[in-house]
Amino acid sequence: MTKYHQIYLVLREQLLEGKFAQGLPGELALMQEFGVARVTVRRALEQLASEGMILREAGRGTRPLASSASNAPAYASASDKGQRAHLTGLLENLVSVSLRTSVAVLEVETVTASAQMASALQIAPGDPVQKAIRVRSTKEGPLSHITTYVPGDIARQFGRRELARKPILVLLEEAGVTVGRARQTISARLADVLVARHLGIAVGSALLAVRRVVFDVRERPIQWLHGLYRPDRYEYEMQLSRVGSIDAKVWVSKDQSAQFS
């Protein structure tokens, strides 16, 4: 993969997450971040501009376009009843994984909800949201870089100290929330400079990317998670069973688990 395309993919992912609400870094800053020449940065930005994700204006810098928000996947469709994750499967397994790893809390702050956050958590843009960034590790080293977003009225019950001691799903239950189901997507992403440093890998390395929305029993979204996992230390396994007639075979999830080295 060419260097400019790697930079394009990293910036595109960050745009979809609403990271550059106040504008993108300048060309010089991007050159220093990715360790490339100006022509490489410009080519990546031109690609984003051609897709309508950014607007470049001389003397005014580069800013994201509102249309980029509409390109983000709809992770939080509360009306989708057909993709439930049972507590005896995925969610309990996630807590188990958390308890078998160590965690470093990098950042906890209250932010205002971007368009993407508001859509995922079904709140109004600008509402308070707790953003927490953590790195989980095994004895072999860093495993995952996790960013979670929790509505402010729920997140008042816990902060940095509690996040360093307990899995966030446990903290949500202790805050009076009854976890109901989760919906997640799994894809791939290239590591940017910040994530690469925390996970001990090279910039542009492939990562397993997980996006998960957790709902309570009343179908209210209570957490939006962005997880980046080292594929050499983490694998996700799903067992499928076939249902239906021979003419209409449908494969459904029977069990879900996460394993790491």
Whole-number Å distance between alpha carbons of 109 and 128: 10
The answer to whether residue 258 sits within a structural domain is no
Mind listing the pLDDT tens digit for each residue in 91-150?
Answer: 556 666 666 788 999 999 999 888 888 999 999 989 999 999 999 998 889 999 999 999
Say whether both 181 and 95 belong to one domain.
Answer: yes
The answer to whether residue 16 sits within a structural domain is yes
Say whether both 197 and 111 belong to one domain.
Answer: yes
Reported as type and span, the H/E element at residue 216 is strand 206-216
Say whether both 52 and 12 belong to one domain.
Answer: yes
Say whether both 92 and 143 belong to one domain.
Answer: yes
Say whether both 58 and 111 belong to one domain.
Answer: no
E-assigned strand segments in 128-205: 128-138, 141-151, 179-190
Residue 228 has pLDDT above 70, yes or no: yes
CATH of the domain at 18: 1.10.10.10
Say whether both 66 and 94 belong to one domain.
Answer: no
Say whether both 56 and 122 belong to one domain.
Answer: no
The answer to whether residue 23 sits within a structural domain is yes
Measure CA of the first residue to CA of the last residue in the chain; give whole Å: 28
Say whether both 203 and 160 belong to one domain.
Answer: yes
Coil/strand/helix, residue 119: helix
Token match 């080293």: residue?
A: 141
- Structural domain tally of the chain? 2
For the entire predicted model, the pTM comes to 0.67
Question: If we measure between CA atoms, which residue out of 92, 138, 78, 124 comes closest to residue 257?
Answer: 92
Mind listing the pLDDT tens digit for each residue in 181-225?
Answer: 888 888 888 888 889 999 999 888 899 999 999 999 899 999 999
Say whether both 37 and 133 belong to one domain.
Answer: no
Say whether both 65 and 91 belong to one domain.
Answer: no
The answer to whether residue 13 sits within a structural domain is yes
The answer to whether residue 75 sits within a structural domain is no
Whether 133 and 149 have beta carbons less than 8 Å apart is answered as no
The parent domain of residue 66 ranges over 3-70
Question: Which pLDDT belongs to residue 154?
Answer: 93
